[in-house]
């Protein structure tokens, strides 16, 4: 039976949706079967008549509710997140959790778009709204939320897998706890409505003009919603140790990729079926043990039919009660996995099943009918909740009462190895080659385009025409990195901005054309997980699929996720990538807030710089991780850690722990790879850390070759791996060219973003 000491329990939840603020208000309206879907009030859009689950409070009212006193600006996405997070932390009593290592993992897709769409041309043409430029990306929203709770979190990151984002945050949090990396994980998601959002879904022709009717034969689409929800998770023994009350437990979870289409679900719901099957296997439960399914149930023709088929494949004639609570809240997209998990926990602890509002007529071919009225005083022990996103990113979680028993023990921490088997990149160096290692191109200006290969060997002309440049790069590097290897168990992707070129095309067209004549392709390809889902679709990879969009540690987060799962043995191989592009428009915007140097660039100028800013590059790099080494393996990943806002002393202590766990002394290091870029502020942190940890070891740099981008850290890992494989550190990679170095055997890679998010990756030669 399940070991209670190891089981993960929920000790706090917080929520805000169109139903109101907090669990008490949610519970009251859920039990009353109250529908609050209505017209859009807070956004100036020609589609304000479309029903939505908009939070009734304005930004100013939300600030008053949370007693917002910060003089800085804030986005609506972050405001919603702060409201929900505060309730979750208060219930969990985290003020009494001093000495614990706490992770904050938030799902998000629109980021600060609701401000970017208002001020886009101000960003380009004047300096009146520059303060909002840095708030556009998803990771910035997570950081703004975390800022209110300064000093509480030790690791933060952002997941962006569209409508499954918050559910995937739950999976990462559980893995971090089970691997002993954190004591507590605060997980969930937040999303506000935006014109971009509304117009994007409208181009797909899946918005209902009436309140949505999930699983009804006459359904006509979804209603968008907004909101936020977070859960506090920890082991039961840890909760007892700090006298925290456990609410319920997380019994199981699963993620799979449909690998079928960017927005449509496969006819047999393969991804949904695999996610539910994996969640059941992970929990040790049988289909007959599930007492209620909180379905994804968007109200679209494709989703509801295919999700129903997938559930029928799992449950057969044992179908438990099913309902979609999106009929209450609207589809809160990236927040949905958190929102519906909290609703499921409310149902579990208050013994009721929410109604599937608007249902009248069964779907032909479905052997079940959703619950069309609230059922109270019902015995519930296990609830399955589904969250499915664009690109076929499908996630299922199971929440159970504390007194229920599962047949399976929680998995113990693993000791499996992890090797970088191969890597391929397209950048401002020669594409798909390692020529940079012996004969690099030295960029001479601040703005640089990537060098493109001949894509005809990878795609047909018709397929290539439908793909933006970054998608082509990411697909080509995936194919090259994989080579003749079997399809990997997982595709894990990092991207700070996603296909920003397509985002800009959709955004500018939306503004210029007054929300008319928009291209759905640009919207679909603007979602951050388009990259990972397209790779999975090409490879027919149905395994784990996740995308991280956390600014300068986006790649680091994806590598960390894959590494953790390799350690536990959950997967045996993974394709891990970092992908970001730069456009002339976004380059101009970032230049206004100090990202770039002015004038010509050369290594000596960057090395001796006493001014802020660097120069831009583009990043598309995929590497294949395996649990077995071969003659062609580049190196072994001997350890990894991520930290939020550490001091230099904290960073040194973390590095020593990492080395010690691998049985390596600081003196055994052959060198340290640093993200030195000519930015005096960022470089000072790197050099202070190196001088405190290992002043006599050579510093290895790489951004003078590849430039700066949100995923540039991928090249840091590549450089370290290549030095180990080639058994040398070329002089052009030495920050101090005169420093001598022996044959490298152990290399530490350090990356940070604005001295907030830090990562450490320990690499060792395969011969060590």
The residues annotated as belonging to the active site are 163, 296, 331
Name the residue among 721, 496, 516 with its Cα closest to residue 624: 721
Tokens found for residue 293? 């399914």
Angstrom distance (rounded) from CA 717 to CA 702:
10
Angstrom distance (rounded) from CA 257 to CA 280:
17
- For 169, how many CA atoms within 13 A lie in the half-sphere containing its CB? 39
Angstrom distance (rounded) from CA 687 to CA 700:
11
Q: Which residue is listed with tokens 């997140």?
A: 81
Name the residue among 378, 385, 375 with its Cα closest to residue 351: 378
Distances (CA, A) of 28 to 23, 120, 383, 502, 564: 9, 40, 20, 42, 40
- For 52, how many CA atoms within 13 A lie in the half-sphere containing its CB? 27
Angstrom distance (rounded) from CA 529 to CA 259:
12
SS3 of 323, please?
strand
- Exposed e or buried b for every residue in 535-555, given b needs 16+ CB within 10 A? bbbbbebbbbbbbbbbbbbbb
Angstrom distance (rounded) from CA 14 to CA 188:
9
Counted residue by residue, the chain has a size of 768
Tokens found for residue 701? 């740099």
**Which residues have a Cβ under 8 Å from the Cβ of 484 and sit 6 or more positions away?**
none
User: Could you tell me if 515 and 535 are in contact, meaning their C-beta atoms sit under 8 angstroms apart?
Assistant: no
CA angle (223, 327, 172) in 5-degree steps: 85
Name the residue among 590, 577, 587, 582 with its Cα closest to residue 713: 577
β partners of residue 231: 13, 187
User: Positive or negative, the Cα torsion across 102, 527, 141, 553?
Assistant: positive
Angstrom distance (rounded) from CA 707 to CA 419:
26
In three state form, how does the secondary structure of 589-630 look? HHHHCCCECCCCCCHHHHHCCCCCCECECCEEEEEEEECCCC
β partners of residue 753: 757
Angstrom distance (rounded) from CA 464 to CA 453:
13
Angstrom distance (rounded) from CA 122 to CA 111:
18
**What angle do the packed helices 76-92 and 138-147 form, to 10 degrees?**
50
């Amino acid at each position: 039976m399940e070991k209670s000491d190891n089981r993960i329990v929920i000790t706090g939840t917080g929520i805000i949706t169109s139903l109101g603020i907090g669990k008490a208000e949610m519970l009251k309206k859920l039990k009353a079967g109250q529908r609050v879907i209505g017209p859009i009030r807070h956004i100036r859009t020609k589609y304000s008549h479309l029903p939505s689950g908009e939070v009734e409070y304005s930004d100013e009212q939300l600030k008053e509710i949370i007693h917002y006193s910060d003089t800085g600006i804030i986005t609506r996405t972050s405001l919603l997140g702060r409201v929900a997070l505060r309730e979750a932390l208060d219930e969990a009593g985290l003020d009494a959790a001093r000495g614990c290592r706490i992770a904050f993992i938030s799902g998000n897709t629109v980021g600060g778009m609701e401000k970017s769409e208002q001020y886009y041309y101000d960003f380009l043409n004047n300096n009146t709204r520059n303060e909002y430029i840095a708030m556009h990306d998803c990771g910035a929203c997570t950081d703004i939320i975390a800022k209110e709770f300064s000093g509480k979190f030790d690791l933060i990151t952002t997941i962006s897998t569209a409508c499954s984002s918050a559910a995937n945050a739950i999976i990462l949090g559980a893995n971090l706890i089970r691997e002993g990396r954190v004591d507590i994980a605060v997980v969930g998601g937040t999303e506000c409505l935006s014109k971009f959002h509304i117009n994007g879904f409208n181009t797909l022709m899946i918005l209902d003009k009436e309140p949505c009717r999930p699983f009804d034969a006459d359904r006509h689409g979804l209603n968008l919603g907004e909101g936020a929800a977070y859960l506090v998770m920890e082991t039961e023994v840890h909760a007892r140790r700090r006298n925290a009350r456990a609410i319920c437990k997380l019994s199981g979870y699963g993620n799979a990729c449909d690998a079928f289409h960017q927005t449509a679900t496969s006819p047999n719901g393969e991804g949904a079926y695999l996610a539910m099957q994996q969640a059941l296997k992970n929990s040790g439960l049988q289909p007959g043990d599930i007492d209620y399914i909180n379905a994804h149930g968007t109200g679209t023709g494709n989703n509801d039919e295919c999700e129903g088929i997938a559930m029928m494949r799992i449950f057969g004639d044992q179908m438990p009660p099913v309902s979609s609570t999106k009929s209450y809240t609207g589809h809160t997209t990236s927040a949905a996995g958190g929102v519906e998990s909290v609703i499921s926990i409310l149902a579990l602890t208050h013994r009721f099943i929410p109604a599937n509002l608007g249902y009248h007529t069964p779907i032909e071919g479905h052997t079940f009918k959703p619950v069309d009225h609230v059922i109270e005083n019902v015995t519930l022990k296990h609830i399955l909740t589904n969250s499915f996103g664009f690109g076929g990113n499908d996630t299922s979680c199971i929440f159970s009462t504390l007194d229920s028993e599962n047949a399976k023990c929680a998995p113990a921490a693993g000791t499996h190895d992890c090797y970088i088997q191969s890597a391929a990149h397209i950048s401002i160096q020669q594409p798909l080659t390692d020529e940079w290692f012996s004969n690099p191109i030295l960029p001479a200006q601040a703005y640089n385009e990537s060098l493109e290969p001949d894509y005809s060997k990878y795609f047909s002309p018709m397929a290539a025409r439908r793909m933006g440049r970054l998608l082509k790069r990411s697909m080509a590097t995936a194919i090259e990195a994989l080579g003749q290897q079997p399809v990997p168990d997982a595709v894990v992707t990092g991207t700070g901005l996603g296909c920003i070129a397509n985002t800009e095309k959709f955004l500018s067209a939306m503004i210029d054309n007054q929300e008319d004549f928009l291209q759905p392709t640009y919207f679909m390809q603007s979602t951050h997980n388009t990259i990972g889902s397209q790779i999975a679709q090409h490879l027919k990879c149905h395994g784990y699929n996740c995308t991280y969009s956390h600014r300068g540690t986006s790649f680091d987060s994806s590598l960390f996720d894959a590494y953790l799962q390799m350690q536990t043995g959950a997967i045996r191989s993974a394709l891990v990538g970092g992908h970001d592009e730069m456009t002339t428009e976004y380059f101009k915007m970032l230049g206004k807030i100090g990202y770039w140097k002015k004038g010509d660039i050369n290594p000596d100028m960057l090395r001796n710089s006493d001014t802020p800013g660097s120069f831009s590059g583009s990043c598309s790099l995929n590497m294949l991780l395996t649990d077995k080494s071969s003659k062609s393996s580049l190196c072994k990943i001997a350890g990894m850690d991520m930290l939020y806002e550490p001091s230099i002393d904290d960073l040194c202590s973390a590095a020593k722990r990492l080395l010690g766990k691998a049985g390596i002394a600081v003196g055994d290091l052959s060198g340290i790879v640093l993200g030195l870029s000519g930015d005096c502020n960022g470089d000072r942190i790197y050099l202070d850390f190196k001088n405190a940890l290992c002043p006599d070891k050579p510093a290895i740099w790489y951004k003078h070759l590849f430039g700066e981008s949100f995923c540039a850290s991928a090249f840091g890992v590549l450089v370290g791996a290549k030095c180990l494989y080639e058994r040398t550190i070329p002089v052009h990679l030495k920050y101090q060219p005169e420093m001598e170095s022996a044959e490298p055997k152990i290399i530490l890679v350090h990356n940070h973003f604005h001295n907030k998010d830090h990562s450490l990756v320990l690499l060792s030669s395969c011969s060590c």
